[in-house]
């Protein structure tokens, strides 16, 4: 398995984010494919089991044909599960990006700035930095409160 990674600063920020999105989509698709394959393997195997016990014509078929039908169901579940989940994931990503672009265009428009790709990226970076600063301030406040709440331990020496 080849993973696409970039060292910090060696690729444009936009490209690094895209690589992270690709890796995320791969993980989502992989998990859905495995789940779909397991579900459809169960469906295929149980269908063959019931057909074997209920229909004399099916009972006369070879084990190879029954295994082929089960593996066909497995492959079907693998492909359909992965594809369905990936399409859903991509749709959610597009909707999220669309909302972000609309927010950026609206806010930049209020400031009188034309919402070009570069300006939208700057807006995103500014928003991201503001969020990180806010998180850092909240963490500092929590740390200060925790530090004040813990009584100082005084060492006493026993001689």
Strands (E), 1-154: none
**Which whole number is the average pLDDT over 137-151?**
80
User: Which 3 state secondary structure label does DSSP give 116?
Assistant: coil
How many CA atoms does the CB half-sphere of 132 hold within 13 Å?
A: 6
Q: What is the pTM of this model?
A: 0.64
Output 100 or 87, whichever has higher pLDDT: 87
Residues 6 or more apart from 82 whose CB is under 8 A from it? 29, 30, 32, 33, 36
Residue that is written with structure tokens 């044909």 in the block: 65
pLDDT tens digit sequence for 42-65: 999 999 999 999 999 999 999 999
Please give the C-alpha separations between residue 114 and each of 27, 32, 43, 124, 127, in angstroms, as whole numbers.
Answer: 37, 41, 55, 15, 17
Q: What does the pLDDT read at residue 3?
A: 53
Residue 120: pLDDT band (50, 70, 90) is: confident
**Is pLDDT above 60 for 2?**
no
The tens digit of pLDDT for each residue in 9-50 reads 555 777 878 888 899 999 999 999 999 999 999 999 999 999
């Amino acid at each position: 398995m080849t993973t696409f990674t970039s060292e910090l600063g060696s690729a444009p920020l936009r490209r690094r984010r895209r690589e992270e999105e690709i890796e995320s989509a791969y993980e989502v698709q992989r998990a859905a494919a495995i789940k779909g394959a397991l579900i459809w393997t169960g469906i295929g195997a149980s269908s063959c089991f019931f057909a074997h016990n209920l229909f004399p014509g099916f009972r006369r078929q070879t084990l190879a044909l029954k295994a082929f039908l089960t593996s066909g169901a497995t492959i079907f579940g693998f492909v359909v599960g992965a594809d369905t989940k990936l399409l859903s994931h991509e749709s959610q990503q597009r909707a999220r990006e669309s909302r972000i672009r609309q927010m950026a265009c609206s806010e930049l428009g209020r400031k009188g700035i034309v919402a070009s790709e570069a300006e939208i990226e700057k807006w995103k970076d500014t928003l991201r930095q503001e969020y990180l600063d806010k998180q850092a301030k909240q963490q500092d406040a929590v740390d200060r409160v925790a530090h004040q709440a813990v009584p100082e331990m005084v060492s006493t020496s026993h001689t």
